[in-house]
Amino acid sequence: MGTTGTPTNITQGSKTKGGIGESTLRPDGTLKVTGEFAYSSDMWHEDMLWGQILRSTVAHAEIVSIDTSEALAQPGVYAVMTYDDLPTEVKNYGLEIQDTPVLAHGKVRHHGEPVAIVAADHPETARRAAAKIKVEYKELPVITDEASATAPDAILIHEGRDDHHIGHVPHPNIVHRQPIIRGNVEEAAKKADFIVKGEYTFGMQDQAFLGPESGLAVPSEDGGVELYIATQWLHSDLKQIAPVLGLPEDKVRMTLSGVGGAFGGREDLSMQIHACLLALRTGKPVKIVYNRFESFFGHVHRHPAKLSYEHGATKDGKLTHLKARIVLDGGAYASASPAVVGNASSLGAGPYVVDNVDIEAIALYTNNPPCGAMRGFGAVQACFAYEAQMDKLADAVGMDRVAFRQLNAMEQGTIMPTGQAVDSPAPVAELLRRVKAMPLPPEQQWLAAGEAADVRQLPGGLSNTTHGEGVVRGVGYAVGIKNVGFSEGFDDYSTAKVRMEVVGGEPVATVHTAMAEVGQGGVTVHAQIARTELGVTHVTIHPADTQVGSAGSTSASRQTYVTGGAVKNSCELVREKVLELGRRKFGTYHPAWATAELLLEGGKVVTDGGEVLADLADVLEGEAVEVEAEWRHRPTEPFDLRTGQGFGHVQYTFAAHRAVVEVDTELGLVKVIELACAQDVGKALNPLSVIGQIQGGTTQGLGVAVMEEIIVDPKTAKVRNPSFTDYLIPTILDTPTIPVDVLELADDHAPYGLRGIGEAPTLSSTPAVLAAIRNATGLELNRTPVRPEHLTGTA
Amino acid sequence: MDFLRPASWEEALAAKAEHPTAVPIAGGTDVMVEINFDHRRPEYLLDLNRIGELSEWEVGEESVRLGASVPYTRIMENLRGELPGLALASHTVASPQIRNRGGVGGNLGTASPAGDAHPALLAAGAEVEVESVRGSRLIPIDEFYTGVKRNALAADELIRAVHIKKADGPQQYSKVGTRNAMVIAVCAFGLALHPETRTVRTGIGSAAPTPVRAKAAEEFLSAALEEGGFWDNGKIITPSVAKQFADLCSAACNPIDDVRGTASYRRHAVGIMARRTLTWTWESYRGTAASTEGVA
Amino acid sequence: MRVNFTVNGRQQEADDVWEGESLLYVLRERLGLPGSKNACEQGECGSCTVRLDGVPVCSCLVAAGQVEGREVVTVEGLADFAKQRAEHGGCATGACGTPGGSGTSLDEAKQWAAKGHDSQTGEGGELSSIQQAFIDAGAVQCGFCTPGLLVAADEMLERTPNPTDADIREALSGNLCRCTGYEKIMDAVRLAAARQSEAV
């Protein structure tokens, strides 16, 4: 095994209560259980107006005319704005490619695209006014898949593209293409004793965060605007918002409001610019809150994908080669499609040693809903395919499915298909061993309760569809690999401002970052880091805003690594200054100030020998020490556009799952009985939060295995199920027990040895559930989510 | 929009007579969704919450008179013995919060083919008591559903109660959804054995434009039971009889493909539910298998 | 229209209510009680759960006009409600008291994380046992589902002090959570039940 690595030697502050490694409780917990925590939809202001967005009713059309006169004439309506009312020449936005119109111009490219916005004194007034805006469309044919997108006569979704990907894509309706080529697939295939091919389909998943897109924009006296918003990345929003408003960035002051979940769906802008435009136009505060229906149109989704895989193996079970093609549907606008392509291709081989690889991943422009970031993006779709392949290969070779994976598992030192050597622990085989070693749940638990079957424990649940008839158990395994942080040469950094001072006789640290707390618990961890590094008990977490430098996005499993790293770094700089202050004030009283290794612990300055030199309160008396500093992880480099070679990822993260399901094989209903997970987290800064992330990610993977899918009509490209009635996410009765085995093998490149953890559990959960259903039913099941129709031959 | 708040049943009837377009609202679990999502803007909302009698029920000799607004939770908790099929159906309705508000009157008023109560009412046998200022009438449940989300109510009528036959034999209810709780029916099936009349009744939900009975299946099964002397000898129903019953139930469906399921699946699933619920009810009738009643 | 009702033991009056407004909207936007959450507004998620005359309901599906003269308990009043129940065996009088208010002011919004709750447990006032258990068990992540879950779980424990896991799952099946995978929520309810039975 290549699982070397030791926990980073943490000496500083290890005696301070509430430091890293403890399951300290959330600083926002009390506000969240009392209902006082202010989410973006809770914002309120005297005299505020309500904003409403009018969205396109068709997916692809030229806009012939827009008539707002009747809407404007409604009593209570303060403003109606269309493209023509945009104040500057900057009329588009976008994360990487600015291809998304603030308001539709000339044509609409997907169902639900914003066409006009209204501000009125009551949400109903705004809705009625929006309904009175007359938009005349001339419908165009819809592009909905690869064939229609790349047909010779295909309408271009975006004409006149000038982004930096246009030079290397085979067709203007392809956003980005990334091949990964290593070794010689043709030659290797000749040495394979077994070749397994598969065509896989991954459905469109929605983040379905519970807090809808919302916020409040307040015009300020200096002509600027204050925006209270739920987002994943304040500074990225700011860079996209300010130019459209025609304001310098310092006049758009953004404060993070409470965020009701994100999961990638808040990486792109939603109502931010619209609220600001209306506030500046009317001179009044404007609140916008989507309802659930609108939310399904208001953010990007997970890319649906078609994946073609061919693997080979020798008769002793060694992988010979992989040939794969991954087609991701990016929908009408680019969003995070390029990064999704990068992940899907570079991680397309999974956590396995394969020397001969030929992978191609592309993202399409279509008239389907725009797709972008969602937990595990790119890596999730690939994992579904390669894990199905692993089971088929193991069966072909005649090996145990877990043993086959372990035989081919990558480890520290493995060269990735990108040529990158894995330079920290990669305990893939060990995670599989651990998850397999967990005890299996007892059979037929529904009988355990008594003599009557407890339908709550059976497929179909409360709907009373079976009392055991047709129910078959299955077990499946899967493991996945995800990159942590922003890859491919992106300058991925964060900023932390840390201040130390005496308040009420006690030393207090204040941590100020722009990190979006979306529920993941970053605020908890920042306080822990400050306690550990500064030896204080009291830490105040300053609200996140744009008055401090960028923290980067709360995505890509990166915040604890990068902003955690920035907080640690700034704390270290503060500590040096505090010790300097101590030496200046008290150095003459004790020689150890000059000679010993000094630590801050338990509110005191102590020597490494444990001798107390001073109270921090005395050192800081009358002084405040403050540092704001950027911190970045080691640089990565872009993948070569022809071969995909390059040091593209800063860190990898791994999880393995074992799913136990019971399937009603006659009705095609599934009950997941247990979803066990083993994950390497490097170092668990907060074990309780770590487990919460793993269980939550696991459950989102379960959702897309058996129920979650946005259904788009292929004839019209219209969304058919934009509601929680027909887009189903798991309830507590659909979610099994999720035992978690946490492994801590330090990555010496990362702060405290930690590993980003948020996404990995979402990857392997889905294929594990699928494998278990295949195990129960004997069906091939090459698409997810599995619907009852697929299990009963009635699709 | 106007909000009408009658304090009594008579006032409600008067209001409905004066404003036939008024939309009655009791539990609000259908109407408010349509309002919140801007799918509907009724001229008048007619609140029935203040009419206490609508939330009451009476157990009579032959039947239960169930007030239109008796919440599903109450039916589950209090009427399991008299109305076992409806109690099971009530338990499949959405969530505890919804079951605390919604009632059978709402299901009937909306008349969605996916309403959970319908198959149980069809199988048990019921009459809907409707009233207007013109007078009161009882509509047999078989004549109540007239089209997709349409029912036999006149514009000035309100649903006051449902008279449901008390169970004289085992009843079952089963519903397929793609989630283990809080789900709208992809399709549903209700079955009631009526040993006193030696008949069987069924109800199918979400598999035709309206809730329907599988009458051919009922007739086949009643005849087969009679012929084989099953009611008296309590024999196990032969698999071939169960299969033919199931096939006839499938054949009674006239479903569509939609976002919740395919027509083909609905037909298939109704057959499976028919066979299973027949087994459960029959086993229960034979009094042999305690394991046939779910705890739902 | 005007609507008069009792919220958390305090008489409230809402004016100029549009007839299509829900109880949820009135609580959040007119009475300054945004604790009940607006996640789906279609009765599918339970995040707006309140007690209406003691019964847990989705406040998004109750028309504002329907609450005239009735009693509502929201998450903001849950701690007092539970306290009253413990002291008097119920809160039948509804005299539970609450801070009313005028919405979340911007100053409050800015200060959301800085209220001195920086250390271990909730030290910002008295919490009900279910609230404390949610914090202690790690059942809160983004927190948007939390208010509805608390109201539903508290009511379940009132009815069923020693629930089985299946009981808990059934009682909370109308409350969606997207962050936690529900495991820590199960832990929290078990913890509250255990503490409750210890206390008796």
Nearest residue on chain A to B175, alpha-carbon basis: A463
Closest Cα partner for A494 from A575, A556, A422? A556
Same domain, C44 and C134: no
Distance, CA of A242 to CA of B165 (rounded, Å): 68
Distance, CA of B212 to CA of B145 (rounded, Å): 8
Closest Cα partner for A424 from A435, A410, A434? A410
Minimum-distance CB partner of C20 among B35, B94, B97: B35
Same domain, C143 and C49: no
A463 and B180 within 8 Å at the Cβ level: the answer is yes
Contact list, B174 vs chain A (CB under 8 Å): 460, 463-465
Give the pLDDT of residue B245. 98
CA dihedral sign, ordered B209, B215, B220, B221: positive
With an 8 Å Cβ cutoff, is C43 touching chain B? yes
Tokens read off for A236: 């990225």
Best B32, B39, B76, B295 residue to mutate vs chain C (most C CBs within 10 Å): B32
Q: Count residue pairs from A and B with Cβ separation < 8 A.
A: 125
Distances (CA, A) of A666 to A472, A779, B187, B188: 10, 13, 15, 15
Tokens read off for A597: 């290794």
A462 and C173 within 8 Å at the Cβ level: the answer is yes
Q: HSE (CB half, 13 Å, CA atoms) of C195?
A: 16
A667 and B272 within 8 Å at the Cβ level: the answer is yes
- Smallest Cα distance from C159 to chain B, Å: 13
Q: For residue C115, tell me if it sits in a domain.
A: no
Nearest residue on chain A to B274, alpha-carbon basis: A465
Last residue of a domain, one of C21, C44, C77: C77
Same domain, C68 and C85: no
Burial class (CB in 10 A: 0-12, 13-18, 19+), A441: middle
Closest Cα partner for B260 from B147, B107, B150, B114? B114
Give the pLDDT of residue C158. 97
pLDDT tens digits for range A142-158: 999 999 999 999 999 99
Confidence tier at C88 by pLDDT (50, 70, 90): confident
Calculate the CA B64 to chain-centre distance.
Answer: 14
pLDDT at C91 over 80: no
Q: For residue C105, tell me if it sits in a domain.
A: no
* Helices A337-346 + A379-397 axis angle, to 10: 20
* Helices C129-137 + C78-88 axis angle, to 10: 130
Nearest residue on chain A to B183, alpha-carbon basis: A725
Distance, CA of A697 to CA of A653 (rounded, Å): 14
Distances (CA, A) of A320 to A179, A192, A252, B81, B177: 19, 6, 55, 66, 43
Same domain, C47 and C87: no
Distance, CA of C175 to CA of B96 (rounded, Å): 9
Give the pLDDT of residue C113. 33
C138 and A689 within 8 Å at the Cβ level: the answer is yes
Whether the full predicted model's pTM is greater than 0.90, yes or no, is yes
C62 and B101 within 8 Å at the Cβ level: the answer is yes
Q: For residue C112, tell me if it sits in a domain.
A: no
Q: Are strands A651-664 and A625-632 parallel, antiparallel or unpaired?
A: unpaired
Same domain, C14 and C73: yes
Residue C134: give its domain's CATH number.
Answer: 1.10.150.120
- Smallest Cα distance from A520 to chain C, Å: 6
C170 and A456 within 8 Å at the Cβ level: the answer is yes
Same domain, C47 and C88: no
What value does the mean pLDDT take over residues C139-160?
98
Confidence tier at C125 by pLDDT (50, 70, 90): low
Q: For residue C137, tell me if it sits in a domain.
A: yes
What is the three-state SS of B205-274?
ECCCCCCECCHHHHHHHHHHHHHCCHHHHCCCCCHHHHHHHHHHHHHCCCCCCECCECHHHHHHHHHHHH
- Smallest Cα distance from C39 to chain B, Å: 12
Q: What beta strand segments (E) does A211-304 contain?
A: 214-219, 225-229, 252-256, 286-289, 301-302
CA dihedral sign, ordered A26, A30, A33, A36: negative
- DSSP annotation of A321 reads E
Interface confidence, given as ipTM, is: 0.96
- Smallest Cα distance from A182 to chain C, Å: 39
Amino acid at A294: E
- Percent of residues, chain C, with pLDDT higher than 70: 81
Minimum-distance CB partner of C117 among A30, A39, A729: A30
Burial class (CB in 10 A: 0-12, 13-18, 19+), B143: exposed
Same domain, C84 and C71: no
- DSSP annotation of A757 reads -
- Smallest Cα distance from B38 to chain C, Å: 10
Same domain, C153 and C185: yes
Give bridge partners of residue B151 from the DSSP assignment.
B145
Q: Are strands A107-108 and C55-58 parallel, antiparallel or unpaired?
A: unpaired
Nearest residue on chain B to A710, alpha-carbon basis: B259
Distance, CA of B40 to CA of B150 (rounded, Å): 16
Same domain, C145 and C69: no
* Helices B263-286 + B239-251 axis angle, to 10: 140
Best C31, C76, C105, C144 residue to mutate vs chain A (most A CBs within 10 Å): C144
Contact assessment for residue B227 and residue B233, using Cβ atoms and an 8 Å cutoff: no
Distances (CA, A) of C64 to A478, B70, C3, C28, C30: 50, 20, 7, 12, 11
CB contacts under 8 A, A 114-153 vs B, are: 127, 131
Q: For residue C51, tell me if it sits in a domain.
A: yes
CA dihedral sign, ordered A582, A584, A589, A595: positive
Question: Strand order of the sheet with strand A319-329?
Answer: A174-182, A357-364, A319-329, A305-313, A194-202, A783-784
Q: HSE (CB half, 13 Å, CA atoms) of A401?
A: 21
Give the pLDDT of residue A14. 64
Closest Cα partner for B163 from B185, B131, B139? B139
Q: HSE (CB half, 13 Å, CA atoms) of C93?
A: 9
- Smallest Cα distance from B162 to chain C, Å: 23
Same domain, C93 and C55: no
C20 and B47 within 8 Å at the Cβ level: the answer is no
* 3-class state of residue A372 by DSSP: strand
Minimum-distance CB partner of A467 among B36, B175, B292: B292
CB atoms within 10 A of CB B215: 13
With an 8 Å Cβ cutoff, is A421 touching chain C? no
Same domain, C25 and C61: yes
Distance, CA of A607 to CA of A12 (rounded, Å): 11
Residue C16: give its domain's CATH number.
Answer: 3.10.20.30
Amino acid at A73: A
What are the structural domains, with CATH classification, of chain B? 1-47 (3.30.43.10), 171-287 (3.30.390.50)
The DSSP H or E segment spanning A31 is helix A29-34
Task: Write the DSSP string, A502-558.
Answer: EETTEEEEEEE--B--SSS-HHHHHHHHHHHHH--SEEEEPPPBTTS-----S-TT-
What are the structural domains, with CATH classification, of chain A? 29-37+493-632 (3.30.365.10), 40-140+212-259+266-298 (3.90.1170.50)
With an 8 Å Cβ cutoff, is B288 touching chain A? no
Confidence tier at C95 by pLDDT (50, 70, 90): very low
Burial class (CB in 10 A: 0-12, 13-18, 19+), A166: middle
Where in the sequence is the domain holding C86, given as residue range(s)? 79-97+121-199
Last residue of a domain, one of C49, C77, C105: C77
A209 and C45 within 8 Å at the Cβ level: the answer is no
A733 and B180 within 8 Å at the Cβ level: the answer is yes
CB contacts under 8 A, B 175-234 vs A, are: 175-186
C49 and B37 within 8 Å at the Cβ level: the answer is no
Question: Comparing A409-423, C89-103, C122-136, which segment has the lowest mean pLDDT?
Answer: C89-103
Distance, CA of C130 to CA of C142 (rounded, Å): 17
Please identify every stretch of chain A with a pLDDT value under 50, giving residue numbers as ranges.
1-10
**Residue carrying the six token digits 């980067």:** A552
- The total of structural domains in chain C comes to 2
Contact assessment for residue A244 and residue A273, using Cβ atoms and an 8 Å cutoff: yes
pLDDT at B37 over 50: yes
With an 8 Å Cβ cutoff, is B296 touching chain A? yes
Q: For residue C106, tell me if it sits in a domain.
A: no
* Helices A760-777 + A687-706 axis angle, to 10: 40
Closest Cα partner for B85 from B145, B16, B173, B23? B173
CA dihedral sign, ordered A175, A181, A187, A191: negative
Closest Cα partner for C34 from C115, C97, C102? C102
Q: Count residue pairs from A and C with Cβ separation < 8 A.
A: 259
Contact list, C36 vs chain A (CB under 8 Å): 35
What value does the mean pLDDT take over residues B247-266?
97
C113 and A255 within 8 Å at the Cβ level: the answer is no
Tokens read off for A430: 């060990």
A795 and B265 within 8 Å at the Cβ level: the answer is yes
Burial class (CB in 10 A: 0-12, 13-18, 19+), A92: middle
Contact list, C39 vs chain A (CB under 8 Å): 210-212, 260, 292
Best A210, A220, A554, A693 residue to mutate vs chain C (most C CBs within 10 Å): A210
Cβ neighbours of residue A335 under 8 Å, at least 6 residues apart? A94, A95, A100, A267, A268, A300, A370, A371, A372, A373
Q: For residue C27, tell me if it sits in a domain.
A: yes
Best A23, A24, A40, A42 residue to mutate vs chain C (most C CBs within 10 Å): A42
Same domain, C8 and C88: no
Distances (CA, A) of A397 to A98, A191, A312, A314: 49, 14, 10, 8
With an 8 Å Cβ cutoff, is A440 touching chain C? no
Contact assessment for residue B277 and residue B88, using Cβ atoms and an 8 Å cutoff: no
Q: Are strands B57-59 and B63-67 parallel, antiparallel or unpaired?
A: antiparallel
Nearest residue on chain B to A794, alpha-carbon basis: B265
A730 and B179 within 8 Å at the Cβ level: the answer is yes
Q: Residues C190, C191, C195, CA angle at the centre, nearest 5°?
A: 120
- Smallest Cα distance from C200 to chain A, Å: 24
